[in-house]
Amino acid sequence: LADMEPMEVNNTEFRHAIEVLKEVRSDPAYIFLFIFLSCISVCTVFLNLLVIISISHFKQLHTPTNLLILSLAAADLLVGMFVMPVNIIQLMDSCWYLGKMACSIFSVVNFLSILASLCSLTFIAVDRYIAVCDPLLYSTRVTACKTSVFIILGWSVAAFYVIMVCYFNDHLLPSQISSSCYGECVLAMKYSWLIVDLVVSFLTPCSVILVLYFIIFKVAIRQAKAVSTEKNGTSNNHGPGSSSFETKAAKKLGTVIFVYISCWIPFYLCSVTVENFTSVSMVWTVFGWLILINSSVNPLIYGIFYSWFRSSCKFIVTCRIFESSSSRFNLKILLKERYKKCLMQFSKKPSRGMRPMLNFCPKCKAICLAEK
């Protein structure tokens, strides 16, 4: 009994364990939740596949920034294909029937997709920082080849870290697990590793991201003042046009990062403040799914902000990507041609001595300028 007391004291140290809860939830609420979350999983896979196919197929989109978006979409695709379905099944039936090895693989894939997403977002912040703060040297300092190397390096480091976490939090006695069942696939860590994971997986990369975007938005404010001065005629003709474009791109990608951090903060706050989490607790389930749903939100943000994504999706859905030389289509030119059609339909030629008329096209969301 004296030997068992230290083990009871160490119940707060979470470990990786396999347990089984022989309970199948068949209430109407769970059935509705099963259908709803299954639809989210399917949409996550479909939307991220659109992003991956778009960037992979069209050569025009093979830019450093888009390669980082591709890496982020690949991590989100893992979430939709593997992590979400397993979590949905565990909501209905917490029993794990696939054995310890399959549970370990699932845990690795789960954490790998999360860390790969964070690595991609960190690289995106660095990419936008260089593009906005040093635009003249951006094309030489940031290339598609260098970006690909960093993406591979980021995924490799993430995989190594995840394997280390799983290795050092394995092979524990069931008495050290505070749970209500046996055989449920639960990845739990002792408190010391939880603090390490908080620093490595959240605080450090998020601090880098926030600092870089704080600098970016300071530059954006300065550029906005410069553009305003130029419009008033008090500046020369060398305005910060290209840098302003990069700033707009940074703001769009900043939305992705803001949503990501917002989804993660509740989870990590509760992980540190609550001593004993179990996978069947409602708080754990809600915050866990908040993280997973973030993988569905990212492609929607691209669809709202990026015209190239909307155009490429139309090519993919209508199967035009199977046309010969479709990979060399210039999406920007196709958009301009569509705007020209709107120009002819929605704009009016001005009378002599009158300025051109500006009209808003509700179809393509473009402002059409009449020709003189």
- Position 230 scores a pLDDT of 66
Residue with tokens 């659109």: 50
CA atoms within 13 A on the CB side of 11: 11
CA atoms within 13 A on the CB side of 132: 29
d(CA 175, CA 132): 55
Residue with tokens 């008329």: 357
d(CA 257, CA 209): 8
- Percent helix, strand, coil in the chain, to 5, is 75, 5, 20
- The encoded tokens of residue 65 equal 């920034």
Domain spans, the chain: 4-327, 330-369
- Position 14 scores a pLDDT of 34
- The encoded tokens of residue 156 equal 């490799």
- Position 246 scores a pLDDT of 58
The pairs formed by 329-332 with CB atoms below 8 angstroms and a separation of 24 or more are: 329/58, 329/60, 330/60, 331/58, 331/60, 331/61, 331/307, 332/60, 332/308
DSSP label of 236:
-
* Residue segments in the chain with a per-residue pLDDT below the cut of 50: 1-23, 171-182, 235-240, 278-280, 337-351, 353-372
Side chain identity at residue 195, one-letter code:
I
- Position 259 scores a pLDDT of 83
- The encoded tokens of residue 188 equal 């739990």
- Position 178 scores a pLDDT of 40
User: β-strands 182-186, 358-361: how paired?
Assistant: unpaired
> Domain 4-327, CATH 1.20.1070.10 — does that match?
yes
DSSP string computed for 114-159: HHHHHHHHHHHHHHHHHHHHSHHHHHHHS-HHHHHHHHHHHHHHHH
- The encoded tokens of residue 103 equal 């549970």
Contact 293, 40 (CB under 8 A): yes
- Position 332 scores a pLDDT of 63
d(CA 28, CA 41): 20
Contact 207, 30 (CB under 8 A): no
Contacts of 326 (CB under 8 A, 6+ apart): 57, 315, 320
Side chain identity at residue 150, one-letter code:
F
Q: Can you name the residues that pair with 12 across neighbouring β-strands? A: none
With CA atoms as reference, report the closest residue to 185 among 113, 87, 287: 87
347 SS3 class: coil
Contact 310, 332 (CB under 8 A): no
- Position 146 scores a pLDDT of 93
